[in-house]
Amino acid sequence: MEGLNGNLYTDLYQLSMGQAYFEKNRHENIASFDYFFRKIPFNGGYVITVGLEDVIEALENFSFAKDEIEYLESIGFKADYLNYLKKLKFTGDVFAVPEGGVVFPQEPVVRVVAPMIEAQLVETMILNLMNYQSLIATKAARIRQVSNGRPLAEFGMRRAHGWGAMQASRAAVVGGFDSTSNVLAGKYYGIPVTGTMAHSYIQSHDEELTAFRNFAESRPDKCVLLVDTYDTLRSGIPNAIKVAKEMRERGHELNGIRLDSGDLAYLSREARKMLNENDLEDVKIVASNQLDEGVIKSLQEQNAAIDIYGVGTNLVVGKPDSALDGVYKLAYADDKPRLKISENIKKLTLPGMKKVHRYINNDGQFVADAIATLDEGVPDKMIHPYELDKEMSLKRFDQEELLTPVMKNGERVAEKKSLDELKESVQFNLSNLPDEHKRFNNPHIYKVGISQNLLKLRQDLKNEKTSKL
């Protein structure tokens, strides 16, 4: 979001480490960090990456204002360090999978190469921006996968986690939603805004019919009537039909009705029948009520007559997974690759500056991704990152590099894409991901491996570190 920058939008420890680097004059030595995640949410087979646009904007605006420096002084940071921070800008290079990419565990999604202090100070902000938005875009893409082309409206603002509602609306659209009820997101991001009416409006009238009439009179071209306040089949739909006929006499057409409780498959089929019997075939049926990809899939399988799905809570809180576990790990500093050792082999980091190659078969389908050291060629074989006896030959495939330059010397070099373009690229990328990785039950794990060079580097560094223990 505009106005957001990385200065104080960080954890205290980043600033503390910054001061310590500064005092040993190591702060301008080049470092490289990787942003990646370890586990795909929703028991799914892929993650859609979103948040990079905010990251670029924040890095471009990275500089400490006078009042921020004063605040840091008040919490004990030293004068020399603060003088340095006053002039600090982000001057580094960023390589990343463009927004809307389909990505998998362990592989770098963003690589930041910058003077140590800059790369360190922006960690928290990058994690904050990438993790939430990628989680929501992934959920949105899953919902889109099962909705059979039906329009999807995002209704989550009221249950989103605070201002995260703004990012949720954008991420939902990139992931495949068509509109939002969030008016500020509509204005800010240019997302189409859509909406119906609430129960309160109907309750506030003595008669449901009067409520419908007044609402229809007020915005006749955008009228969707909520039909479940009292009795959907006996009151809501008959009253909506009455109002639709009255509107027609005045030269308007009722846009739709909304179902928000009960058996949505049964009620939608009944509603469709009743509307059609009254020559109202074009009146759309909107459904809402704790929808998610599981419920929508089931509704589609039950031949529900739902034209538009409105999805709120489950989307914007990423239910049942409340976070994407993305991390930002140091891979290189002071001219050396760096490793974090762990008892758990899965948490051994991948040292050094790295690139990612995506291998593609003759049908344009994604086959596997290989993480390699920056200074090697295109690997023709990869090894499982932890089960080292598992290898895969990559000779037969075309490949492309996943991490592309997005910032050079602190300035944006990647073109800014429109939301429509991003939404299209998600669908394009997903169309190139084989179905077995997209199914909801036990999706096949997409293969991500490491090159022989990277494996050797990791093993050498590990041996070097453990021999000193």
Ligand X SMILES: O=P(O)(O)OC[C@H]1O[C@H](OP(=O)(O)OP(=O)(O)O)[C@H](O)[C@@H]1O
Ligand Y SMILES: Nc1ncnc2c1ncn2[C@@H]1O[C@H](COP(=O)(O)OP(=O)(O)OP(=O)(O)O)[C@@H](O)[C@H]1O
Please report how close the Cβ of residue 143 comes to ligand Y at its closest, in angstroms: 13
Please report how close the Cβ of residue 443 comes to ligand X at its closest, in angstroms: 24
Please report how close the Cβ of residue 63 comes to ligand NIO at its closest, in angstroms: 38
Verify binding: residue 235, ligand Y, rule CB under 6 A.
Answer: no
Residues from 302 through 321 that contact ligand NIO (CB under 6 A) = 310, 312
Please report how close the Cβ of residue 314 comes to ligand Y at its closest, in angstroms: 8
Please report how close the Cβ of residue 372 comes to ligand NIO at its closest, in angstroms: 47
**Of 58-66, 238-246, 284-292, 383-391, which segment contacts ligand Y by CB under 6 A?**
284-292
**Which residues, including other chains, have CB under 8 Å from residue 298's CB and lie 6 or more apart?**
265
250-269 footprint of ligand Y as x/- string (CB under 6 A): -----------xxxxx----
Of the candidates 42, 155, 309, 366, which one interacts with ligand NIO according to CB under 6 A?
Answer: 155
Closer CB to ligand NIO, residue 106 or residue 181? 181
Residue 311's binding partner among ligand Y, ligand X, ligand NIO, none (Cβ under 5 to 8 angstroms by kind) is: ligand X
Residue 195's binding partner among ligand NIO, ligand X, ligand Y, none (Cβ under 5 to 8 angstroms by kind) is: ligand NIO
Of the candidates 169, 179, 181, 451, which one interacts with ligand NIO according to CB under 6 A?
Answer: 181
Closer CB to ligand NIO, residue 312 or residue 352? 312
Instruction: Please report, as ranges, the residues that interact with ligand X according to CB under 6 A.
Output: 155, 158-159, 198-200, 260, 288-291, 310-314
Tell me the CB-side half-sphere exposure of residue 344, using CA atoms within 13 A: 3
Please report how close the Cβ of residue 234 comes to ligand Y at its closest, in angstroms: 15
Verify binding: residue 394, ligand Y, rule CB under 6 A.
Answer: no
Please report how close the Cβ of residue 286 comes to ligand NIO at its closest, in angstroms: 7
SS3 per residue for the chain: CCCCCCCCCCCHHHHHHHHHHHHCCCCCCEEEEEEECCCCHHHCCCEEECCHHHHHHHHHCCCCCHHHHHHHHHCCCCHHHHHHHHCCCCCCEEEECCCCEEECCCCCCEEEEEEHHHHHHCHHHHHHHHHHHHHHHHHHHHHHHHCCCCCEEECCHHHCCCCHHHHHHHHHHHHCCCEECCHHHHHHHCCCECCCCCHHHHHCCCCHHHHHHHHHHHCHHHCEEECCCCCHHHHHHHHHHHHHHHHHHCCCCCCEEEECCCCHHHHHHHHHHHHHHCCCCCCEEEECCCCCHHHHHHHHHCCCCCCEEEECHHHHCCCCCCCCCCEEEEEEECCEECCCCCCCHHHCCCCCCEEEEEEECCCCCEEEEEEEECCCCCCCEEECCCCCCCEEECCCCEEEECCEEEEECCEECCCCCCHHHHHHHHHHHHHCCCHHHCCCCCCCCCEEEECHHHHHHHHHHHHHHHHCC
Closer CB to ligand X, residue 15 or residue 304? 304
Verify binding: residue 196, ligand NIO, rule CB under 6 A.
Answer: yes
Residue 181's binding partner among ligand Y, ligand X, ligand NIO, none (Cβ under 5 to 8 angstroms by kind) is: ligand NIO
Residue 196's binding partner among ligand X, ligand Y, ligand NIO, none (Cβ under 5 to 8 angstroms by kind) is: ligand NIO
Residue 179's binding partner among ligand X, ligand Y, ligand NIO, none (Cβ under 5 to 8 angstroms by kind) is: none
Q: Which residues form the interface with ligand Y (CB under 6 A)?
A: 261-265, 289-291, 295, 298-299, 302
Interface with ligand NIO by CB under 6 A: which residues?
155, 181, 195-196, 258, 288, 310, 312
